[in-house]
């Protein structure tokens, strides 16, 4: 590569990364700002971290968000993987149609799922609470897990499974000893994707949370009237750090399992 | 083989269905659980004696409160839980529309919600509210007379004032002499230092007031005229922003058409900022405590409302958030300085001169949205 091209590429890459990360860095910096108003710097403080942990509303909503994300991830990963296995391995009548049905939740706007669920709950006389958030989250995340796992399976060598069976392993053993370890990176990626989507999800949560089950995005949105408090900056900083650690950890695990 | 696959697929779908329906079952369990416990007497109901004719005199164990975000300090809830043994389940919303959508879906059992004035009127018309038993709310007399018997609920049958505020002018006294009016936003000397509410209803109402046209029932011609006037203001505008406190504090904005709450936040950080209701009027709003007909704990809700109206408790509300308190008892507890803060407590004659927002027909709101967008695009 010519030095000039190298230089241009370097500048370009730097700009792209600045575009990604500058807002996050500013957000983190302002979590240490003394002023309650987000954009004026008045002094350095840790007080927002202290008041964050005594703010019951925020802590509750974080707990809700985490519970919902974990349960959603578990359900979506199990069923998404099962669906991927079924679609990848077997031919059956209506396979195309079923495959297609799995793509719909990916492209359908969340607001439609949300309003449909709210109407359904109204019709069934269900009272909103934390449990009514799961179906919506699971419905949109299953498809993502399935798509990621199927992509992983496409590169799978079918002869490995055949060899296992040939050597006397039954279906169950073949799955856990051969198939699952091979598709594991895909399953993990799907699970992480599901977790992130569920944690971020706003529209469906907004319509399906009931008394005391606000998720974090819903709570933050409800604060706009008075300007978002720096406690949220503090919380975001903690979350960004946790996510960075998580990504590093799983990145390592994935490269090991390869 | 093929049959086996079909069977497997069927099992997968069946499991998926079970997973979904068991979630639903979980919810119904939750509610029936809370109903079971709601009849328990939790004691500590000293106030119960005041309502002998009422069938429902025992405090429930839980109270579902649905309020605006950042609108009630945690200590108020904690103290209530301690004093009355009722757990308050607190959830927040960001707009009247969100609250109405949830209530209208029939899927929530909130005991208290806090709609803005003209929304109370709409909810009364739609039969969404329960009549209050005033015997349980003796502290209502603490509310200042000005805020009794408002048009949307004459006689205060359904609603109790919570907090109020206004939209007027926040201004920087080091750049602006005297008390500004809405007309001063158009002053060419302030070009580049003016902010206007980023909301079609708010900004057009301001222009209508400036032109001395009816703010609550504008005709199409009125609105077209207001649009033209707003377009003239455009070169002066630094930002269309409903939370300009940061620009006010930094000194970028000299004169802002904004909420009194925003002005209050800015005044705490920058002593040069002041606030006034303009001579054209300005707009007032008030949020109100009401009990929706989905409530299963009406008596407990009334006890809670009465608790909120105690002067000390009410003062905690307006101490924590920069809105104005309609509670005379709370005002009496404040320092002279707090009471004379123009952002929180504009002089009585300014209040009398200001207008309240009223409910508009959807066509007018749509027209306002369209005109406002056109101004911003041009």
Percent of chain A with pLDDT over 90: 38
Q: Select the residue of A92, A119, A135 nearest B5 (Cβ to Cβ).
A: A92
Q: Select the residue of B5, B65, B265 nearest A90 (Cβ to Cβ).
A: B5
The answer to whether residue B93 neighbours chain A at the CB level (below 8 Å) is: yes
What local confidence, expressed as pLDDT, does residue B50 receive?
41
Mean pLDDT of B222-232: 93
Shortest distance between the Cα of A59 and any Cα of chain B, in A, equals 12
Say if residues A101 and A166 touch (Cβ distance below 8 Å).
no
Restricting to B residues 215-274, those with a Cβ less than 8 Å away from any Cβ of A are 243, 245-246, 249-250, 261-262, 265-266, 268-269
Say if residues B191 and B236 touch (Cβ distance below 8 Å).
yes
Q: Band of the pLDDT at B20, cuts 50, 70, 90?
A: very low
pLDDT over 90 at A30, yes or no? no
pLDDT digits (tens, 9 = 90+) for B105-120: 888 889 999 999 889 9
CATH number of the domain to which A113 belongs: 1.10.3720.10
Q: Is A23 part of a structural domain of the chain?
A: no
pLDDT digits (tens, 9 = 90+) for A157-167: 888 888 998 99
Q: Which of A171-175, A188-192, B27-31, B374-378 has the lowest mean pLDDT?
A: B27-31
What local confidence, expressed as pLDDT, does residue B40 receive?
40
Does pTM top 0.80 for this prediction?
A: no
pLDDT over 80 at B176, yes or no? yes
Interface test with A, best of B87, B90, B91 (most A CBs within 10 A): B91
Cβ-proximal residues to A131 (8 Å cutoff; 6+ apart), any chain: B23, B24, B26, B27, B30
Interchain proximity B16–A86, CB inside 8 Å = no
Please name the residue ranges forming H helices in chain A: 3-30, 47-54, 56-89, 95-107, 110-124, 134-154, 158-166, 171-174, 180-200, 203-208, 216-222, 230-257
CATH number for the segment(s) B2-19+31-164+285-339:
3.40.190.10
Q: Select the residue of B19, B66, B266 nearest A75 (Cβ to Cβ).
A: B19
Interchain proximity A212–B8, CB inside 8 Å = no
The answer to whether residue A74 neighbours chain B at the CB level (below 8 Å) is: no
Mean pLDDT of B264-280: 91
E strand or H helix that includes residue B311: helix B311-320
What is the domain range of residue A176? Answer: 52-256
Shortest distance between the Cα of B19 and any Cα of chain A, in A, equals 8
The answer to whether residue B188 neighbours chain A at the CB level (below 8 Å) is: no
What is this model's ipTM? 0.73
Chain B environment of A35 (Cβ under 8 Å)? 249, 269
As given in the structure block, the two tokens for residue A211 are 């008394």
Interchain proximity A135–B98, CB inside 8 Å = no
Q: Which of A197-201, B9-13, B73-77, B91-95 has the lowest mean pLDDT?
A: B9-13
pLDDT over 90 at A10, yes or no? yes
What local confidence, expressed as pLDDT, does residue B56 receive?
52
Q: Is A42 part of a structural domain of the chain?
A: no
Which is it for the CA torsion B168, B173, B179, B183, positive or negative? Answer: negative
Interchain proximity A35–B26, CB inside 8 Å = no
- Residue owning tokens 């079909």: B6
Q: Is A22 part of a structural domain of the chain?
A: no
Interchain proximity A138–B108, CB inside 8 Å = no
What local confidence, expressed as pLDDT, does residue B51 receive?
42
Domain ranges in chain B?
A: 2-19+31-164+285-339, 166-284+345-377
CATH of B166-284+345-377, one of 3.40.50.2300, 3.40.50.11890, 3.10.129.10, 3.40.190.10: 3.40.190.10
**Residue B376, SS3 per DSSP:** helix
What local confidence, expressed as pLDDT, does residue A183 receive?
92
Mean pLDDT of A99-105: 88
Cβ-proximal residues to B252 (8 Å cutoff; 6+ apart), any chain: B193, B238
Chain B environment of A227 (Cβ under 8 Å)? 243, 245, 262, 265
E strand or H helix that includes residue B222: helix B220-233
Rounded Cα–Cα distance for residues B324 and B188 (Å): 33
As given in the structure block, the two tokens for residue A106 are 């990916």
What local confidence, expressed as pLDDT, does residue A256 receive?
63
Rounded Cα–Cα distance for residues A35 and A40 (Å): 7
Q: Residue B151: how many CB atoms within 10 A of its CB?
A: 10
Chain B environment of A211 (Cβ under 8 Å)? 64-66, 89, 91, 108-110
| Half-sphere exposure (Cβ direction) of A72: Cα atoms closer than 13 Å | 34
Mean pLDDT of A174-179: 90
Q: Select the residue of A37, A92, A127 nearest B31 (Cβ to Cβ).
A: A127
CA distances from B324 to A36, A165, B127, B245, B286 (A): 19, 76, 29, 17, 9
Among residues B297, B309, B302, the alpha carbon closest in space to that of B111 is found at: B297
Topology agreement, domain B2-19+31-164+285-339 and domain B166-284+345-377: yes
The answer to whether residue A175 neighbours chain B at the CB level (below 8 Å) is: no
CA distances from B53 to B50, B57, B136, B151 (A): 9, 9, 11, 29
Number of domains in chain A: 1
pLDDT over 70 at B15, yes or no? no
Restricting to A residues 87-146, those with a Cβ less than 8 Å away from any Cβ of B are 90, 92, 98, 118-119, 121-122, 124-129, 131-132, 134-135, 138
pLDDT digits (tens, 9 = 90+) for A62-93: 999 999 999 999 999 999 999 999 988 888 88
């Amino acid at each position: 590569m010519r030095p000039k091209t190298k230089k241009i590429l370097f500048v370009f890459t730097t700009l792209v990364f600045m575009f990604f990360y500058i807002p996050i860095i500013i957000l983190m910096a302002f979590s240490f700002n003394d002023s309650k108003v987000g954009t004026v710097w008045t002094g350095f403080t840790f007080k927002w971290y202290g008041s964050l942990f005594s703010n019951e509303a925020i802590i509750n909503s974080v707990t809700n968000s985490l519970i919902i994300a974990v349960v959603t991830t578990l359900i979506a990963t199990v069923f998404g993987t099962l669906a991927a296995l079924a679609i990848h391995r077997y031919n059956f009548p209506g396979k195309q149609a079923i495959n297609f049905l799995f793509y719909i939740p990916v492209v359908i706007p969340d607001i439609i799922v949300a309003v449909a669920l709210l109407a359904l709950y109204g019709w069934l006389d269900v009272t909103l609470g934390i449990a009514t958030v799961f179906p919506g989250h699971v419905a949109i995340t299953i498809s993502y897990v399935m798509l990621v796992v199927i992509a992983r399976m496409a590169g799978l060598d079918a002869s490995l499974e055949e060899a296992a069976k040939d050597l006397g392993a039954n279906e169950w053993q073949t799955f856990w000893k051969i198939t699952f370890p091979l598709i594991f990176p895909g399953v993990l990626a799907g699970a992480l994707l599901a977790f992130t989507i569920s944690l971020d999800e706003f529209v469906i949560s907004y319509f399906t949370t009931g008394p005391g089950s606000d998720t974090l995005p819903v709570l933050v949105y409800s604060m706009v009237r008075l300007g978002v408090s720096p406690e949220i900056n503090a919380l975001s900083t903690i979350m960004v750090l946790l996510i960075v650690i998580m990504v590093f950890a799983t990145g390592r695990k994935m490269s090991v399992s390869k | 083989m093929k049959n086996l696959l079909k069977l497997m697929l069927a099992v997968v779908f069946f499991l998926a269905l079970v997973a979904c329906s068991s979630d639903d079952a979980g919810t119904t369990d939750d509610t029936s659980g809370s109903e079971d416990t709601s009849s328990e007497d939790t004691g500590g109901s000293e106030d119960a004696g005041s309502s002998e004719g009422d069938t429902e005199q025992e405090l429930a164990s839980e109270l579902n409160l649905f309020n605006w975000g950042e609108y009630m300090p945690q200590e108020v809830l904690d103290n209530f839980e301690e004093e009355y043994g009722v757990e308050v389940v607190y959830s927040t919303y960001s707009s009247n529309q969100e609250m109405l959508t949830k209530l209208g879906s029939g899927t929530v059992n909130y005991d208290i919600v806090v709609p803005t004035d003209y929304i109370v009127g709409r909810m009364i018309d739609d039969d969404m509210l329960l009549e209050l038993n005033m015997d349980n709310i003796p502290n209502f007399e603490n509310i200042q007379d000005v805020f009794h018997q408002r048009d949307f609920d004459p006689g205060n049958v359904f609603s109790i004032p919570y907090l109020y505020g206004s939209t007027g002018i926040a201004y920087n006294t080091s750049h602006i002499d005297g008390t500004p009016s809405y007309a001063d936003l158009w002053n060419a000397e302030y070009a580049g230092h003016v902010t206007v509410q980023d909301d079609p209803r708010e900004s057009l109402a301001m222009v209508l007031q400036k032109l001395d046209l009816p703010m609550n029932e504008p005709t199409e011609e009125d609105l077209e005229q207001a649009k033209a006037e707003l377009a003239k203001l455009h070169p002066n505008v630094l930002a269309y922003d409903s939370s300009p406190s940061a620009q006010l504090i930094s000194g970028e904005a000299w004169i802002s058409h904004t909420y009194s709450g925003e002005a209050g936040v800015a005044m705490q950080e920058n002593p040069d900022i002041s606030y006034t209701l303009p001579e054209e009027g300005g707009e007032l709003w008030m949020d109100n405590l009401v009990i929706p007909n989905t409530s299963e704990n009406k008596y407990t809700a009334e006890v809670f409302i009465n608790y909120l109206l105690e002067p000390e408790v009410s003062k905690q509300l307006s101490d924590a958030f920069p809105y104005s308190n309609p509670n005379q008892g709370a005002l009496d507890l404040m320092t002279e300085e707090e009471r004379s803060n123009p952002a929180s407590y504009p002089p009585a004659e300014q209040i009398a001169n200001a207008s309240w927002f009223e409910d508009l027909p959807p066509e007018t709101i749509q027209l306002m949205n369209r005109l406002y967008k056109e101004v911003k695009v041009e």
